[in-house]
């Protein structure tokens, strides 16, 4: 069954008693037992809640995994996965990833004895060289944030199997609608479901999907023990958003392609990052492995003064953090999403004082282009 159909029907079968086509919100902390030593399958909402379970089963189906897990945020999801590792373990990580993930790794989990090496995960040879005897996992972003480099998920998964390490893919930018890393050999996918999956900038959520049932049991033990689970209301909102994932992303990708093509010829844009453009170094690879190129566009302007102008003079675009919603957002990575990364590292990676990032929404594409055009001229 097509992913678009699966997404639209998440939770449809859940309430067999009433036939409700929308899964109910089970807004309860605890569940009554039918008898001594008996359970309905639900005891306490940290351990399991029907609304959350509908979401978890839904994302597992979309990603082709054994089991899904819903968390209070994308960072909570990544945190829970890090409990798979212990003191002395080493992870190889995408170098230009979301700044909050870097902060989690370097400022929090490093104090528990985990070590991290940051490499260009679009370079298979660099990843191979970075793997050590103590390496336990490779953590990659399928499309990096904000420079939109493309990882060869299939080749990296083969390398991970060869080396006996887990392959974890943050697939937030592409979602299972466009890319299914587990089909390409990855072990775990993780999402900030706040973004494209929920899709309306009205809830914060994180999801993870595990391919192997035994590994999934370990992840559930950590989810239940730590308790950073997604509440039933936010689970329902995420399900609601996922039902329209395909139509939203189709429109967003179409808009992104038009905007990227326009920016690519603009005299005040010196560089553009969008894998849908044929000249992008990852274009051919993503065309083979994915169903589309996503709706994120990053670009460098020719001078620093243009940054403030575009952030503050656009009227349809909103100057805001986050991404993936129906509204188009414009972000300044150096001062917002990646501010926690040391400046010398940002400069080396290309996250500089003239880089802007667009999360393209579902508005009329010409309206978005006109808005950017008037801001450039303001």
pLDDT tens per residue, range 4-40: 999 999 988 877 888 888 899 999 999 999 999 899 8
End-to-end CA distance of the chain: 49
CA angle 11, 217, 67 (to 5 degrees): 25
Q: Which residues contact 146 (CB under 8 A, 6 or more apart)?
A: 96, 273, 296, 298, 331, 333, 337, 338, 351, 355, 357
Domain span(s) for CATH 3.90.1150.10 in the chain: 245-377
Backbone angles phi, psi at 80, to 5 degrees: -65, -35
Distances, alpha carbon 287 to alpha carbons 217, 236, 273, 284, 293, in Å:
34, 33, 16, 5, 8
Q: What is the pLDDT of residue 337?
A: 67
The structure's pTM equals: 0.95
Structure tokens at 270: 């010196």
Joined together, the tokens standing for residue 56 give 């978890």
d(CA 256, CA 323): 13
89, 136 Cβ separation under 8 angstroms: yes
Collapse the DSSP code of 150 into the 3-class scheme (helix H, G, I; strand E, B; otherwise coil) and give the result.
Answer: strand
Residues of the chain with pLDDT under 50: none
Contact 167, 185 (CB under 8 A): yes
Domain 245-377 class in CATH: alpha beta
Task: Please tell me the chain's helix, strand, coil percentages from 3-state DSSP, rounded to the nearest 5.
Answer: 40, 15, 45
Q: Specify whether 98 is catalytic.
A: yes
Q: Catalytic: which of 89, 106, 152, 170?
A: 170
Please list the residue range(s) of the chain that carry CATH number 3.40.640.10.
Answer: 3-242
Q: Is 46 a catalytic residue?
A: yes
What is the pLDDT at residue 351?
A: 81
Report the distance separating Cα 19 and Cα 15, nearest Å: 6
Identify the pLDDT of residue 340: 65
| Cα-trace Rg, the chain | 21
Active-site entry in 67, 180, 195, 211 = 195
Catalytic residue among 71, 98, 196, 274: 98
C-alpha–C-alpha distance, residues 29 and 46, integer Å: 8
User: Catalytic residue at 243?
Assistant: no
> Among this protein's residues, is 42 annotated catalytic?
no
Count other Cβ atoms within 10 Å, centred on residue 163: 17
- The closest alpha carbon to 98, from 347, 329, 322, belongs to 322
3-242 to CATH, choices 3.40.50.920, 3.50.30.30, 3.40.50.300, 3.40.640.10? 3.40.640.10
Tokens of 315: 């009227």
Catalytic residue among 46, 103, 291, 313: 46
């Amino acid at each position: 069954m097509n992913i678009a159909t699966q997404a639209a029907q998440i939770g449809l079968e859940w309430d067999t008693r009433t036939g409700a086509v929308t899964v109910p919100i089970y807004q309860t902390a605890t569940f009554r037992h039918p008898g001594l030593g008996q359970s309905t399958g639900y005891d306490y909402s940290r351990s399991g809640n029907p609304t959350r379970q509908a979401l978890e089963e839904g994302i597992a189906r979309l990603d082709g995994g054994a089991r899904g897990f819903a968390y209070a945020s994308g960072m909570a999801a990544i945190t829970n996965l890090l409990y798979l590792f212990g003191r002395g373990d080493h992870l190889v990580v995408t170098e230009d990833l979301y700044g909050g993930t870097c902060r989690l790794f370097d400022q929090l989990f490093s104090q528990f004895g985990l070590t991290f090496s940051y490499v260009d995960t679009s370079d298979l040879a660099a990843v191979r060289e970075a793997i050590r005897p103590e390496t336990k996992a490779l953590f990659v972003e399928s499309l990096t944030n904000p420079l939109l480099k493309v990882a060869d998920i299939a080749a990296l998964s083969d390398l991970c199997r060869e080396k006996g390490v887990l392959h974890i893919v943050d697939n937030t930018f592409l979602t299972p609608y466009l890319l299914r890393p587990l089909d390409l050999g990855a072990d775990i996918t993780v999402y900030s479901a706040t973004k494209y999956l929920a899709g309306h900038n009205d809830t914060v959520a994180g999801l993870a999907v595990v391919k192997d049932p035994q590994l999934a049991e370990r992840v559930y033990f950590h989810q239940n023990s730590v308790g950073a689970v997604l509440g039933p209301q936010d689970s329902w909102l995420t399900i609601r958003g996922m039902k329209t994932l395909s139509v939203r992303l189709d429109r967003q990708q179409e808009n992104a392609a038009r905007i990227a093509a326009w920016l690519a010829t603009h005299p005040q844009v010196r560089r553009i990052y969008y894998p849908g453009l044929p000249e992008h170094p990852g274009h051919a690879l993503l065309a083979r492995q994915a169903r589309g190129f996503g709706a994120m566009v990053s670009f460098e302007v020719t001078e620093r003064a243009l940054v403030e102008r575009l952030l503050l003079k656009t009227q349809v675009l909103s100057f805001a953090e986050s991404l993936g919603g129906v509204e188009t957002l414009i972000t300044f990575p150096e001062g917002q999403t990646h501010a926690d990364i040391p400046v010398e590292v940002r400069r080396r990676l290309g996250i500089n004082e003239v880089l802007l990032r667009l999360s393209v929404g579902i508005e009329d594409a010409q309206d978005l282009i006109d808005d950017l055009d008037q801001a450039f001229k303001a």
